[in-house]
Amino acid sequence: MGQSKHRSAYKLLTSIAHQSEQHSVQLPSQGAVQSQWRGVGFRLAGMRFVAPMEEVDEVLYVPSYTSFPGVKSWVNGVSNVRGRLLSLIDLGVYFGQKPSLSSKTSRILCVKLDDLYTGLIVEQVLGMQALEERDRVQPEKLPKEFRPFVTGGFQQNGTNWTIFSLSELVKAPEFLQVAL
């Protein structure tokens, strides 16, 4: 009797496996899979940018901070974020535009590169963007101060996204010179 239970259970499982194979949906072929580029969208100086995902450590609301004397106007100060000191830089002011910290939508893109941990204040964060590689374009005309940090662009669904390299920005010698 125990043997017949095993055979009927085996037949049932075999039947289920066979039905599953018949009704399964095939995975797309390798050629049909589109590669995507992922980044964090943000607004700066009224323009739409996207930073590579691997360059953004985290996104924060603007925390309270302590100002420093004797630093350039684009250095807002330093904040303690979970026990780590985070320098706060207003990217709008850095690029000679209006301050990014002027609205309730302002956010901080945190960048960690080697020993540098800094927060870049932008006007607004537009969320994670998954952009299709086939939609790559040359970036639209930009003010010259942004160009050294732009590495390309996308146009997707009528929206232009300019790729902005945060890691190139924080390595730039003029960015590292904060003292007056």
For residue 63, what is the domain's CATH number?
2.40.50.180
In a domain, 143, yes or no: yes
> Which pLDDT value is given to residue 31?
55
Report the candidate in 124, 174, 115, 117 with the shortest Cα–Cα distance to residue 149: 174
Cα(158)–Cα(160) distance, rounded to whole angstroms? 7
Percent of the chain with pLDDT over 90: 77
In a domain, 19, yes or no: no
51-84 pLDDT tens trace: 999 999 999 999 999 999 999 999 999 999 999 9
Residue listed under structure tokens 């952009």: 131
In a domain, 21, yes or no: no
Q: What pTM does this model have?
A: 0.80
pLDDT category at 123 given cuts 50, 70, 90 is very high
Residues with Cβ within 8 Å of 121's Cβ and at least 6 positions away in sequence, in order, are 62, 76, 88, 89, 90, 91, 92, 100, 101, 106, 107, 108
Apex 134 CA angle, 39 and 45, nearest 5: 40
> Residue 127 is part of which domain span?
35-176
In a domain, 4, yes or no: no
In a domain, 6, yes or no: no
In a domain, 67, yes or no: yes
C-beta contacts of 79-83 below 8 A and 24+ residues apart? 79/119, 81/110, 81/119
In a domain, 114, yes or no: yes
16-42 pLDDT tens trace: 877 777 776 666 555 555 689 999 999
In a domain, 115, yes or no: yes
What is the mean predicted confidence (pLDDT) over 139-149? 92
